[in-house]
Copies of this chain bind each other. A is one copy, B any other.
Amino acid sequence: MEVRRQDIHNSDIPVVCRACEARHGGVCGALTSEQLTELNKHSSRHRLETGSEVIGQGETVVNYSNIMRGVVKLTKVMADGRQQIVGLQFAPDFLGRPFLTESAITAEAATDSEVCNFPRTVLDRLVKKTPELEHMLHQQALKELDEARDWMLTLGRKTAQEKVASFLYLIATHIDPESVDMSAFDLPLSRADIADFLGLTIETVSRQFTKLRKENVIRIENNRHVTVPDMDRLMRYAGND
């Protein structure tokens, strides 16, 4: 039942995938070199500029993607325009909703990004034949579910200050999985996006940034670059004791 990849240095693996896998641990890791070669025939890399849409709410899904670089935001909008970010995805996350053809959310590059696209039909076929691949996708879905539920607590029960601190803590711990030092990073989202993520207005977000800055919980340069002198202190501000 177990389908195991050969040695990662196996020359059967497409060059582009070899370079990719070395850096990331995405779902492709579940595939044999033959399957990778097959998938690679239909896959294509794309650069996404900030703000460009991967898929829109209500549209038909033709592609799944792997995020190679950057941050992708998942949003839901109401009829009157109110908007909520329901997820942030970082490399090497899988992007897409298996087994449904209509997307319930909009996915949009929050920063300059790079993705690897594969046709839905090809991957769906591969999933049916490869239990290990479904397992990877299942794990990712469960991870996203855990994150969504954590965030529900933040949205429903935290104060504006705690929400903003929670956001900063989230970014600090997710933006660069390689790095050990989480105390300095660039925000991948604008104030408007942060507000949409936290269920606040940009004004409230701005005020809370100012407050955290004045209380020396964070330092900010150029509106985007953040330094955290004491991560535990930030965590306490976030309400995660």
Residue from B86, B128, B138 in contact with A153 in the complex, judged by beta carbons closer than 8 Å: B86
A135 — which chain B residues lie within 8 A by C-beta?
134
- Of the residues B104, B142, B149, contact of A86 by C-beta under 8 Å: B149
Residues of A75-129 contacting chain B, CB below 8 A: 76, 78-80, 82-84, 86-87, 97-100, 104-105, 128-129
A145 within 8 A of B: yes
Nearest B residue to A76, CB-CB: B153
A238 to chain B, nearest CB (A): 10
Task: Please measure, in the bound complex, the distance between the C-alpha atom of A135 and the C-alpha atom of B79, giving whole angstroms.
Answer: 34
Residue of B nearest to A86 (CB): B149
Q: Is A56 an interface residue (CB 8 A)?
A: no
Residues of chain B contacted by A241 (CB below 8 angstroms): 78-80
Of B131, B144, B150, the residue contacting A131 (CB under 8 A) is B131
Whether, in the assembled complex, A157 has its beta carbon less than 8 Å from a beta carbon of chain B, the answer is yes
**B-contact bits for A128-156, CB 8 A (1 contact / 0 none):** 11010011011101101110111111011
Across the interface, name the chain B residue whose C-beta is closest to A74.
B149
CA distance A141 to B198 in the complex (A): 24
Shortest distance between the CB of A56 and any CB in chain B (Å): 15
Given contacts A1-B129, A144-B145, A239-B78, contact A152 B153 (CB under 8 A): no
Report Cα–Cα, A137/B152, bound state, in Å: 22
Please state if B142 and A99 are interface contacts (CB–CB under 8 Å): yes
CB of A26 closer than 8 Å to a CB of B: no
Give the distance in Å from the alpha carbon of A145 to the alpha carbon of B142 in the complex. Answer: 8
Q: Cβ of A14 < 8 Å from any Cβ of B?
A: no
A29 within 8 A of B: no
A interface residues, Cβ below 8 angstroms from B = 1, 74, 76, 78-80, 82-84, 86-87, 97-100, 104-105, 128-129, 131, 134-135, 137-139, 141-142, 144-146, 148-153, 155-158, 198-199, 239, 241
Interchain Cβ contacts under 8 Å between A and B, 18 examples = A1-B131, A76-B153, A79-B239, A79-B241, A80-B241, A83-B157, A84-B152, A86-B153, A87-B149, A98-B142, A131-B131, A134-B135, A137-B138, A144-B145, A145-B145, A145-B148, A148-B149, A156-B198
A-B pairs, 7 with minimum CB distance: A156-B199, A131-B131, A148-B148, A86-B149, A79-B241, A155-B155, A138-B138
Beyond A131-B134, A145-B145, 19 additional contacts (C-beta under 8 Å) are A74-B149, A76-B150, A78-B158, A78-B239, A80-B241, A82-B158, A83-B157, A84-B157, A97-B142, A98-B142, A99-B139, A99-B142, A104-B146, A105-B149, A137-B138, A141-B141, A151-B152, A152-B152, A155-B199
